[in-house]
């Protein structure tokens, strides 16, 4: 069985790492290059950098920052936000990113998933899906959780897998920043209907939440932000806990 991955997420706004609750109440928490290097030393398996305002403000990607991150990291990292065309993915790859995470643009133009997968391989493409449980249905949102669209989580995840996505990064907007646990039921369903890895995001607050998301939610990787940014759960402590609870981690 493949080892489960622990992935700190660094939301970037104006070159700084920030964090909010339910996609709101945004606060600065540090320098993205320094934080990334720290997490790599602590034993993180990968990192995700998301430019959280790029899609909304229609800004191009922060390729200079990606170059600095790549120069200071020895673990894989992906970058998302503002990827609107194949050229944007090319810029990121050239700057040193290992994967791209696409969200709003592929909802508007699903063919972009096919293009990136054909151009660089499925392993380069993460499709991020932000969704909120509303009246028993997982409603997909874009533009940093600002705009609902006519897509449902499970059908959309199946479609992007068929188009060539290599991984799904699912963020539950209901759970984001609450530290009350991941959306394990939805994650379990995603893992059962998909053949590609599922990364869980939204709700990490305790070591037990990670145990639950790997055992009950069947996630392949778990992503978190504030608990790492504020050193509430150091990564070495988390990995030791998971090993003690019979979860295979690196």
Chain segment 1-40, per-residue pLDDT in tens: 789 999 999 988 878 888 665 555 667 778 899 999 999 9
Residue 221 contacts by C-beta under 8 Å, 6 or more apart in sequence?
A: 4, 5, 6, 7, 45, 46, 197, 198, 199, 200
CATH number, residue 226: 3.20.20.70
Q: Where are the beta strands (DSSP E) in 194-250?
A: 198-201, 221-224
Q: Find the domain containing 164 and state its range.
A: 5-244
For 114-166, what is each residue's pLDDT tens digit? 999 999 999 999 999 999 999 999 999 998 788 999 999 999 999 999 999 99
Residue 214 contacts by C-beta under 8 Å, 6 or more apart in sequence?
A: 4, 222, 242, 247
Q: How far apart are CA 249 and CA 137, in angstroms?
A: 33
Let me know if residue 132 belongs to a domain: yes
Let me know if residue 116 belongs to a domain: yes
Let me know if residue 249 belongs to a domain: no
Q: How far apart are CA 62 and CA 138, in angstroms?
A: 31
Let me know if residue 214 belongs to a domain: yes
pTM, rounded to two decimals = 0.92
Let me know if residue 250 belongs to a domain: no
Let me know if residue 151 belongs to a domain: yes
Q: How far apart are CA 247 and CA 73, in angstroms?
A: 26
Residues designated catalytic: 11, 130
Contact between residue 32 and residue 62 where contact means Cβ atoms under 8 Å apart = no
Please tell me the total count of domains within the chain. Answer: 1
């Amino acid at each position: 069985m493949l080892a489960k991955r622990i992935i700190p997420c660094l939301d970037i706004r104006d070159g700084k790492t920030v964090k909010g609750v339910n996609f709101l109440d945004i606060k600065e928490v540090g320098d993205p290059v320094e934080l990334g290097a720290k997490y790599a030393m602590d034993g993180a398996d990968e990192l995700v950098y998301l430019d959280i305002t790029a899609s909304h403000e229609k800004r191009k990607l922060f390729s200079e920052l990606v170059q600095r991150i790549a120069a200071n990291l020895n673990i894989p990292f992906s970058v998302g936000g503002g990827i609107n065309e194949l050229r944007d993915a090319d810029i990121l790859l050239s700057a040193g990113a290992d994967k791209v995470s696409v969200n709003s643009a592929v909802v508007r133009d699903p063919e972009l998933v096919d293009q990136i997968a054909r151009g660089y391989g499925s392993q380069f493409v993460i499709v991020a899906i932000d969704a909120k449980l509303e009246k028993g249905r997982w409603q997909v949102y874009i533009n940093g959780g600002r705009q609902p669209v006519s897509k449902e989580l499970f059908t959309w995840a199946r479609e992007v897998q068929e188009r060539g996505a290599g991984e799904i990064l699912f963020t539950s907007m209901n759970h984001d920043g609450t530290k009350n646990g991941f959306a394990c039921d939805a994650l379990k369903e995603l893992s059962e209907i998909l053949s590609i890895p599922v990364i869980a995001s939204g709700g990490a607050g305790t070591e037990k939440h990670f145990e639950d998301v790997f055992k009950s939610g069947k996630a392949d990787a778990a992503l978190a932000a504030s608990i790492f940014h504020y050193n509430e759960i150091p990564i070495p402590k988390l990995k030791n806990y998971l090993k003690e609870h019979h979860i295979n981690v690196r």
